[in-house]
Amino acid sequence: MKLLITGGAGFIGSNFIHYWLKKYPDDNIINLDVLTYAGNLENLADVADSKNYQFVKGNICDEKLVDGLAKNIDLIAHFAAETHVDRSVMDSGDFIKTNVEGTRVLLDAAKKNNVRFHHISTDEVFGSLGPNEPSFNEKTPYDPRSPYSALKAAADHLVRSYYHTHKLPITISNCTNNYGPYQFPEKLLPLFITNLLEGKKVPIYGNGQNIRDWIHVDDHNAGVDMIIKKGRIGETYCLGGNNELTNIELTKKILELMGKGEEMIKYVKDRPGHDLRYAMDISKAKRELGWEPKIKFEDGLAKTIEWYKNNKDWWKKIKSGEYNEYYKKQYEKLS
Ligand code: NAD
Ligand code: DAU
């Protein structure tokens, strides 16, 4: 099988490439990534010289490039996106370009070249749950509330529209919060772990009572694998970790595993429009695909902390602004 992966130099995409090449060593992967601040080829240093892996630096909005790459491909797995909610609050321009127009360009190339399309999406398109409301499922109406989730929702609708109007063979997965190695240290888990390794405090937004469901990135990617191999065309599958935690509960677990006390917590201004709770009903994926998350959160979290401890060069370069001065300023503000 020949796959075109978009956004393969980011967190989930790079883990997906590792996962796929290990499990299917005879398959071929082209990784199309423009290398925004979140893209990092160091994530893929170990596969860079593999004969069945090729990196192409380019933008998914580049129609000619994308159309050329989509020839002789069996599947596009579309991970590329602007992904950080806080950045979308500051400026949603790049989110519109990449998440919506980029998805449109890929869909048109898939249509022209008869390519199966799997779209990676998020639970955030469903909005925010109250503490006792039932979890999201595939039938939950969309109610996105941040510029990021609104534009992911737009992309999801566009993908579905190509199935209905053009019969393009698509599938979609909506997943909850991922954690694991190679996650850019602007997201809660890597930011908090690396701050603590640097002796800095961890900034909790608001009162810390917001709830997220956490899934290890390898479990997410195993779910995507099952959808690619066994998913019904035109269908959406909700993936999650069955692991809801308030941000304060999660922070206390990190502090305990890292041998730090609660004096390292700093409560800061809340995120504007901060969604209260995400939770996912994964029974469709279980029933139809036989998929469920396997990695116990306590084990996955301990291993993830170990990874950041053992890969200080990776995140220190990012946080010191070696890649980009702007991000150094961002971290100084957050830390
Ligand atoms: P990330 O920010 O770590 O990586 C995104 C990658 O996309 C980067 O390598 C970046 O360079 C690339 N990219 C961005 N714009 C591009 C463009 N115009 N052309 C080509 N490449 C471009 O993101 P992530 O956390 O790995 O998320 C991957 C996907 O999974 C996204 O679609 C996201 O919405 C979705 N998702 C993420 C989570 C999560 O918890 N991180 C959960 C559910 C769904
Ligand atoms: O739910 C899936 C989504 O998870 C993905 O679609 C997004 O791409 C991904 O970024 C993530 O979004 P969140 O906004 O949930 O992740 P983030 O790590 O930014 O925040 C997690 C929770 O922690 C959220 O309630 C906000 C809070 N938070 C975050 C940061 C960065 C803090 O309290 N302090 C922080 O410094």
Q: Report the greatest alpha carbon distance in the chain.
A: 57
Catalytic residue chosen out of the listed positions 82, 123, 186, 244: 123
- H or E, element range at 245: strand 244-246
Using pLDDT thresholds of 50, 70 and 90, give the confidence band for residue 316: very high
Mean pLDDT of 255-267: 98
What average pLDDT does the chain have?
A: 96
Q: Say what the pTM is.
A: 0.97
pLDDT above 90 for 325: no
d(CA 33, CA 42): 13
Name the token pair of 141.
């109406």
Structure letter (DSSP) for residue 97: I
User: 277 has which bridge partners?
Assistant: 211
Using pLDDT thresholds of 50, 70 and 90, give the confidence band for residue 320: confident
pLDDT above 90 for 134: yes
Name the residue at shortest CA distance from atom 3 of ligand 2: 177
Using pLDDT thresholds of 50, 70 and 90, give the confidence band for residue 323: low
pLDDT above 80 for 330: no
- Ligand 2, from 12, 37, 145, 188: best to mutate by most atoms within 8 Å of Cβ? 188
**How many Å lie between the centroid of ligand 1 and the Cα of residue 80?**
4
Q: Where do the domains of the chain lie, and which CATH numbers do they carry?
A: 2-183+213-244+274-295 (3.40.50.720)
d(CA 152, CA 173): 12
pLDDT above 70 covers what percent of the chain?
96
